[in-house]
Amino acid sequence: MSVPCVAVDRERGEAVRTQLAEADALDGDHRIEVVDDTIYIPVSDADRVPADLRGRLVERDADARDRPKTPAEILGDEPSLERLGDIVIIDEDDPVRAREVADAVMTSDLPCETVLNRASPIEGELRVREWDVIAGDGTETVHREYGHEFRLDVAAVYFSPRLATERRRVVEQVREGETAIDMFAGVGPYAIPMATRGANVVACDLNEVAIEYLRENAERNGVSDRITAIAGDVREVAEEYAGVADRLVMNLPHSADEFLDVAVALAGDSCVIHYYDIQHEDDPFGPGLAAIRAAAGDEYEVTVETERVVRSYAPHEYNVCLDVRLDRR
């Protein structure tokens, strides 16, 4: 196909290409070509070519550049994908379709080393799921989120990249010098950014592997001096840290209510609780708030600061967060 090109001596090629790029005149859809000592640089719009190069304009056949391809362009439909570091997570019940999607992901322009398909729901106390490795190998990666890096093995720990915005919302409330306790900390996606904001953080998790990653991630992000990481049941740390927390994160949505007595024991005189819950759309905040009020009893005044729907969890069910302040009476 014939397109306008600027033709100059080969030695001037890079300088002229830069000049055209600065003038926003480069045509990215066609290939630059060198013939003998002349370089032909396709331009998108001859009127944008700087005046000193206009005399160099020629019409010329130029080959189209290979454009990067997305999985959707390769497949002809939009697959459901989630990215976690260099892992791409798919969610396909049909193994033939899973293979097709994985092949499309691997040949696309997505930076990807491994494709995993969900092989079980999130299960058990440790909230971990099983995976089918469809392409590549291994289930460990380094995920980046709002300037922090988290190394993790998705087959051994809980982690959801979908909660990035929610975590950010919580972390932005943290003030320098406060004491925050992340009762169900995982590999540290709340605890570590809270420490970066200047909080002194106690991070607890039942999953020893998650706590090993959390310690490594604290080092990796330069905040290990502000994080105390504890592998074990949060009920067991309640005594040692009783009455110290300015902030509590309770991200264990299916059973956080069973830990509200622990939360109240950890709370200082004035403490914000970020309480995650899964409830029916008809009353997404009522049951959580009632449980918090019951646990606080006469000891604390309870004020709701935010009621937030984090995401849809299942038909008619929401994953929600209540930000609630407890003030000792």
Ligand X SMILES: C[S@@+](CC[C@H](N)C(=O)[O-])C[C@H]1O[C@@H](n2cnc3c(N)ncnc32)[C@H](O)[C@@H]1O
Residues found near ligand X in the complex (CB under 6 A): 125-127, 158-159, 163, 184-186, 189-190, 204-207, 210, 233-234, 251-252
Per the document, the length of the chain is 329
Query: What is the b/e burial string over 45-64, where b = at least 16 CB atoms within 10 angstroms of the residue's CB?
Result: eeeebeeebeebeeebebee
Q: CB nearer to ligand X: give 3 or 263.
A: 263
Whole-number CA gyration radius for the chain: 27
Smallest distance, ligand X to C-beta of residue 262, A? 9
Smallest distance, ligand X to C-beta of residue 266, A? 12
Q: CB nearer to ligand X: give 26 or 204.
A: 204
Smallest distance, ligand X to C-beta of residue 185, A? 5
Q: CB nearer to ligand X: give 30 or 148.
A: 148
Q: CB nearer to ligand X: give 212 or 233.
A: 233
Q: Which helix (H) or strand (E) holds 171?
A: helix 164-171
Phi, psi of 190 (to 5 degrees): -95, -50
Q: CB nearer to ligand X: give 200 or 207.
A: 207
Smallest distance, ligand X to C-beta of residue 282, A? 24
Smallest distance, ligand X to C-beta of residue 186, A? 3
DSSP class per residue in 236-305: GGTTTTTT-EEEEEE--TTTGGGGHHHHHHHEEEEEEEEEEEEEETTSSSHHHHHHHHHHHTTTEEEEEE
Residue 241, number of CB atoms within 10 A of its CB: 19
Q: CB nearer to ligand X: give 8 or 185.
A: 185
Smallest distance, ligand X to C-beta of residue 205, A? 4
Task: Report the amino acid identity of residue 184.
Answer: F
d(CA 192, CA 174): 12
